[in-house]
A and B are shown apart, each in its own frame.
Chain A
Amino acid sequence: MNLLNVDSISKTFTIHILSGKIIEGFKDVSFTVPRGTALGISGPSGSGKSSVLKCIYGSYLTTRGDIWYESPRFGRLNLTRSPLRTINQIREMEIGYITQFLKVIPRVSALDIVSAPLMEAGAFRKAARSAAGDLLEQLGIPQRLFEAYPATFSGGEQQRVNIARAIIKAPHLLILDEPTACLDADTTSVVLDILLALRKKGTTMIGIFHQPEILARFSDAIYRMKTDSDRGTIQ
């Protein structure tokens, strides 16, 4: 069964500062993601890969087309037309999103950032923090940094905090926008192992990776975006 069914979506931006100039983000993107599988998205920069993910997550409004999502809580939903409140709840409970950049909440320790999603879901502080610590350790963040603010971390460390925060609750759908962009080869491999283990446990994933070998390891199927606006293909 398909968890996600993206049905010919397009995105255009109307830039009013340029007197209403219309810029095309991407056009006619369609794919399906069966439950428990990982779809990789590839394509040159500027082809709209990140925009597709943002449309799914709801950070961008989809100009045309439908995004059908099978929610365990709300049933089958068109994400482009769901009430904001529902999207918010789905984000809290079911969908994880990792970007290239950690949007850190300033002045909150790494351990608190990572354990927050668990505590919001009702876990006890102690249990949540210990689970968060385990995950950070697995990702190679030294214990002495647990209480420090991630805003002061190196790029790679921030990225790992970002990943930990998104996967700690084992989301239903995980959206990954180059999560390994600034990681070294070893850490990348650790992250991939964690992602693959999550997938085995049933998390459906859709992700962008720049290095082809990582994309190949991650994906069950690959969707190729095209810049010249012809239809992309699933391989």
Chain B
Amino acid sequence: MTPVLSVRNLFRIFGTACSRCFDGNDEICGNKCPWCGAIVACKNISFDLYPEEVLGIVGESGSGKSTLLKILYFEEEPTSGEMFIHLTKRNACFPGEAFMGSVDAANVLSLNSYQKRLFRNHYMGMVYQNPFLGLRMHISAGGNIAEKLFMAGFRNIAKIRERAIYLLEKTEVPGNRLDESPASFSGGMQQRVQIAKALSNVPMLLFLDEPTTGLDLSVQARVLDLIKSLQKEMRLATIVVSHDLGIIRHLTTRTMVMKDGEIVEAGLTDQVLEDPQHPFTQLLVCSTL
């Protein structure tokens, strides 16, 4: 089976990089290059994501997990590296299908910014830890979803509205609050609107960046259940970034552990959590309450 997403040798270096930043040798302790002082946020990242798979990325803050996710979502330019996406045909009601046929098997990081935007609008969804990043707070909840659908090529306003109501109901946001702005919603509701927005274009790739950090326990549980059931129902290939091992265990089948910009360990989630190999992972697992 071909992976939906393949990432090869991805680097993201902040500052002026020297050639030795790329060597990936072990002399570099931490993520600061001792020769030129540049910060290596992502160091030689390679992995595959398969259809319907949920991949977890864990690591402490500053390990580069969010930077990696931002690169995948085209929000950040990598310093070097390649990313391939294999498209599968979707429902014919989704516009813009024809355009995308041509980019299959090309390094999508080398597309121009217009193509990247199209790609993101049609095929990707992102849920941020902070709803302010994913939503326009002073546009109605329905408008937020409509915006994404509009960018994904939907033009029929009645259909857009119908879909927005459907999605909000799926994410347990009362349909009668469609026309209110998320600024007046609680944190948990904002997060659910964000999920509705991220899922509105039926993405092929769903990225979750600490989706429930900062929510209280019962809301966190509901949001997690929601993500899990929608992921199963829509068969989304998903990447979850979190520092909470409970969430990783709950949502993912495979996990990568990042430290100082590098993937130090990868495996089946239960194996990584029960039989961690790398010193950092052992420390991480031992630190769980």
Give 1 or 0 for each of A4-28: 1 = CB within 8 Å of chain B CB.
0000000001111100000000000
Pairwise interchain contact A61-B271, C-beta atoms closer than 8 A: yes
A224 at the binding interface (Cβ < 8 Å): no
**A59 near B271 (CB under 8 angstroms)?**
yes
Contacts of A60 in B (CB 8 A): 271, 274-275
Does A88 count as interface, using CB distance less than 8 angstroms?
yes
Distance between Cα atoms of A88 and B267 in the complex (Å): 11
Nearest A residue to B267 via CB reads: A84
**Is B159 part of the binding interface, using a Cβ–Cβ cutoff of 8 Å?**
no
Cβ-closest chain B residue relative to A116: B232
The reply to whether B268 and A88 form a contact with Cβ atoms under 8 Å apart is yes
Known A58-B271, A107-B221; further 15 A-B contacts with Cβ < 8 A? A13-B275, A15-B282, A17-B279, A54-B274, A59-B268, A59-B271, A60-B275, A61-B267, A84-B254, A84-B268, A85-B50, A88-B253, A88-B268, A105-B250, A107-B225
Check B50–A61 contact: CB distance below 8 A: no
* Count class of interface residues, chain B: 20 to 34
For the residues of A in contact with B, the DSSP-based class is mixed
What's the nearest-Cβ distance from chain B to residue A82, in Å?
A: 11
B270 interface hit (Cβ, 8 Å): yes
Interface residues of B in 170-193 (CB under 8 A from A): none
Collect the chain B residues with CB atoms within 8 Å of residue A107's CB.
Answer: 221, 225
CB of A75 within 8 Å of the partner chain: no
A16 touches B225 (CB 8 A): no
**Chain B residues whose C-beta falls within 8 Å of the C-beta of A15 in the assembled complex:** 282
Instruction: Judge if B286 is at the interface, Cβ distance under 8 Å.
Output: yes
Considering only CB atoms and an 8 Å cut-off, how many residues of chain A contact the other chain? Answer: 18
Residues on B with beta carbons closer than 8 Å to the beta carbon of A16: 278-279, 282-283
Question: Within residues 89 to 148 of chain A, which ones have a CB less than 8 A from any CB in chain B?
Answer: 105-108
Confirm or deny: B61 has a beta carbon within 8 angstroms of a beta carbon on chain A.
no
Give A17 to B281 CA distance when docked, in angstroms: 11
Contact of B268 among A17, A87, A108 (CB under 8 A): A87
Nearest 4 pairs of A and B residues by beta carbon: A16-B279, A60-B275, A59-B270, A59-B274
Shortest CB distance B272–A (Å): 10
- Chain A residues with CB under 8 Å of chain B are 13-17, 54, 58-61, 84-85, 87-88, 105-108
Distance between A122 CB and nearest chain B CB, rounded to angstroms: 13
- Among A14, A58, A61, the most chain B Cβ lie within 10 Å of the Cβ of A61
Smallest Cβ-Cβ distance to A92: which chain B residue: B253
B228-281 residues at the A interface, CB under 8 angstroms: 250, 253-254, 267-268, 270-271, 274-275, 277-279
Nearest chain-B residue to A88 (Cβ)? B253
Q: Which residue on chain B has the smallest CB distance to residue A20?
A: B279
| Docked complex Cα distance between A96 and B278 (Å) | 28
Contacting residues, chain A, for B1 (C-beta < 8 A): 85
- Chain A residue at minimum C-beta to C-beta distance from B221: A107
Interfacial chain B residues near A108, Cβ < 8 Å: 225
User: Residue of B at shortest CB range from A105?
Assistant: B250
Cα distance A141–B42 in the bound complex, in angstroms = 51
Among B53, B268, B274, B286, residue most surrounded by chain A Cβ atoms (within 10 Å): B268
Closest residue to A19 on the B side, CB-wise?
A: B279
Complex Cα distance, B276 from A142, in Å, reads 40
Closest residue of chain A to B222, judged by CB?
A: A107
8 of the cross-chain contacts (CB-CB < 8 Å) are A13-B275, A17-B279, A17-B282, A59-B268, A59-B271, A60-B275, A85-B50, A105-B250
Complex contact B286–A17 (CB within 8 A): yes
* Cβ contacts under 8 Å, A61 to chain B: 267, 271, 275, 277
* Contact yes or no, A59 B275, CB < 8 A: yes
With the chains together, A108 CA to B286 CA distance in Å?
A: 28
Instruction: Report B-chain residues with C-beta under 8 Å of the C-beta of A58.
Output: 268, 270-271
Determine how close the nearest CB of chain B comes to the CB of A144; give it in whole angstroms: 23
Query: Residues of A contacting B283 with CB < 8 Å?
Result: 16-17
Q: How far is the CB of B71 from chain A (nearest CB, A)?
A: 23
Bound-state Cα–Cα, A173 to B234, Å: 30
Complex: chain A residue closest to B271, CB-CB: A59
- Of all chain B residues, the one with the shortest Cβ separation from A11 is B275
Expressed in whole angstroms, the minimum distance between the Cβ of B159 and any Cβ of chain A is 28
Contacts of B250 in A (CB 8 A): 105
Given A15-B282, A85-B50, A88-B268, check contact A54 B221 (CB 8 Å): no
B254: A residues at CB distance < 8 A: 84, 88
